[in-house]
Amino acid sequence: MSLAAYCVICCRRIRTFTPPPKRDTYWRDIRNIIKFTGSLILGGSLFLTYEVLALKKSLTLDTQVVEREKMKSYIYVHQVSLVKFAITLGIVYQARKELHKAVRKVLATTAKILRNPFAGPFSTVDIEDHDCATWLLLRKSKSHDKAERLEAVREMSESHHWHDYQYRTVAQTCDPRILIGLARSQETDLRFFLPPPPLPSLKEDSSTEEELQQLLASLPQTDLDECAQYFTCLALSESSQSLAAQKGGLWCFGGNGLPYAESFGEVPSATVEMFCLEAIVKHSEISTHCDKIEANGGLQLLQRLYQFHKDCPKIQRNIMRIVGNMALNEHLHSPIHRSGWVSIMAKAMKSRQIMEASHAARVLANLDRETVQEKYEDGVYVLHPQHRTSQPIKADVLFIHGLMGAAFKTWRQQDREQVVTEKALDDEDRYTTCWPKSWLAKDCPALRIISVEYDTTLSDWRARCPMERFRKSIAFRSSEILRKLRAAGVGDRPMIWVSHSMGGLLVKKMLLEASQKPEMSTVINNTRGIIFYSVPHRGSHLAEYSVNIRYLLFPSLEVKELSKDSPALKELQDEFLEFAKDKDFQVLNFVETLPTYIGSMIKLHVVSVESADLGIGALIPVDVNHLNICKPKKRDAYLYQRTLQFIRETLAKDLEK
């Protein structure tokens, strides 16, 4: 045990049963003893060794008391508590302070002479032997050398044998970038993260719903598109009941509307909080509005809602979308950390629910400027790697869903959603709610796997936003998605596009658009291949069928654009076919052979074999319907294995480098 530790223990055990000597005389004697001891120590290291050994022999300590002292942590004591402690114990506290001060000065001088490896912000006098590794890692984490900092984070994340107080010591001592690194490390113990600070109390006679409305009302209306303004006005003026009634029909937000496409009678519940959050998501895409959200206490209010709605994943995901958008602005990283969001996201990263973990991964990736250069805008999710990794990433695979699809659910295993979710929690290798994350990431760990999400609807009946129709065009969506993907670094590595249904049309439009822009040339040069799952290159019968039952569907713009033999679709097909042949893209086409049931009234073959044939690449019919063409039944199913084979073969040269 170090000298300082013995002194501290002795001082703590002092009992002032008899009146102490006169204060001035007492302290003069103490200082004289310390100075004398210091001169002996400076005279040579042998005197230091002798005095320590002599002190150990002269003391008789209860070993249980020593062990209890060793396990105590002093970092939890606030400065105010120290002052109270000094007033209470008087001489005991002053003696301890003087001893520490003198010995630290002595050892600092000795360190310069003997080149002590502990020379620096702390020494062995300050810590116990079993704590040395912890404090050395803390010191290493504050290094100016980035490689040392990253190594310190890795070593911390792999430490699973520490005492509880050691994790808490690190939690209160290290800086935000280290905590973010720990949050993005797969094996990190959650004891590294302190609970979020207490939330401010609600205003008198106020509710979270009202405060959320007040936050929304405080945000500027400038730089917003018409739909964002519409959502803001709707959220501020309507009650949850009227909103729910107004939303009827085939409503879908965030691309998660697939279940509602199959049942027209189901309408999701809507609340004022949800509509406010949808509006704030739009505001959070504007940097200056993010500043307003933070300045008006939005981070704390969103945290209150997040904790309150633990049983409502949809609300929690929208909140994470907002925080993730705010994290795109580096000057807001400190407020986000101070408000406790890093701790919350660290816990969410360990969730077995793929959507929750992926939203948290986006937030933390945008906060992590140590190892991540890319920025992930709303709707762009990295499925792999979601943690820091030493595995070099050599290529990208991009997943683009189709009409009424989603970034996660489109790529789930073929089965009823509830069944897949329950089974996936028990055995992710056999059952998955997102096979690119669960299966492809394990089969090809050197890939970065990205999934994109955007809104689509089948019908404009009671549209979510009357001014939104122009935003639904393939041209508008492809331009917006391409910009977001480029911000995420897409184009910097070799890549393969994987698309379902209308998503394939967006891929074709994006590549043609990129070919016209010099700043996007890397996207073209690094595209190695494309997989099309039932993409209607020549249109779909869905559009024709929708027109015939217009009284029911009122087809949306994206459905109209899919009309069979549409001039715009034919032009896109002809241009892309010539372009793909010129660039020698590798292509693989799948097509359904079974009809799809939409609700109880509609049954149709969405994409025919003729329409799914791009004109280049293999065309593989599969005995499934349109919804399941991209959902393998199991990991060893032909649909998945053929996809895996194409990816490996197309990227073979790049993965070998």
Among 179-188, 401-410, 636-645, which is the least confidently predicted range?
401-410
Give the start-end residues of each E strand in 348-466.
380-384, 395-400, 447-452
**Contact assessment for residue 563 and residue 539, using Cβ atoms and an 8 Å cutoff:** yes
Checking 438-445 for CB contacts under 8 A at 24+ apart, the result is 438/354, 439/635, 439/640, 440/384, 440/397, 440/644, 440/647, 441/383, 441/384, 441/385, 443/644, 444/397, 444/644, 444/647, 444/648, 444/655, 445/384, 445/385, 445/391
Q: How confident is the model at residue 208 (pLDDT cuts 50, 70, 90)?
A: confident
For 433-452, give the DSSP string: S-HIIIIIHHH-TTEEEEEE
Q: What's the pLDDT tens digit per position in 543-572?
A: 666 555 544 455 566 667 777 778 889 999
Q: 621 forms bridges with which residues in the sheet? A: 591
Domains of the chain: residue spans and CATH: 204-247+268-339 (no CATH), 380-414+432-656 (3.40.50.1820)
Q: What was the pLDDT predicted at 130?
A: 63
- pTM for the complete prediction? 0.78
Q: What's the pLDDT tens digit per position in 152-192?
A: 999 999 998 899 989 988 999 889 999 999 999 999 999 99
Q: What's the pLDDT tens digit per position in 43-78?
A: 444 444 444 444 444 444 444 544 444 444 444 443
Q: How confident is the model at residue 334 (pLDDT cuts 50, 70, 90)?
A: very high
Among 326-335, 370-379, 594-603, which is the least confidently predicted range?
594-603
Q: Is 80 exceeded by the pLDDT of residue 356? A: yes
**Contact assessment for residue 208 and residue 308, using Cβ atoms and an 8 Å cutoff:** yes
> From the CB of residue 36, how many other CB atoms can be counted at a distance below 10 Å?
10
Q: What is the mean pLDDT of the chain?
A: 78
Q: What's the pLDDT tens digit per position in 506-545?
A: 999 999 999 999 999 999 999 999 999 999 999 887 766 6
Q: What was the pLDDT predicted at 323?
A: 98
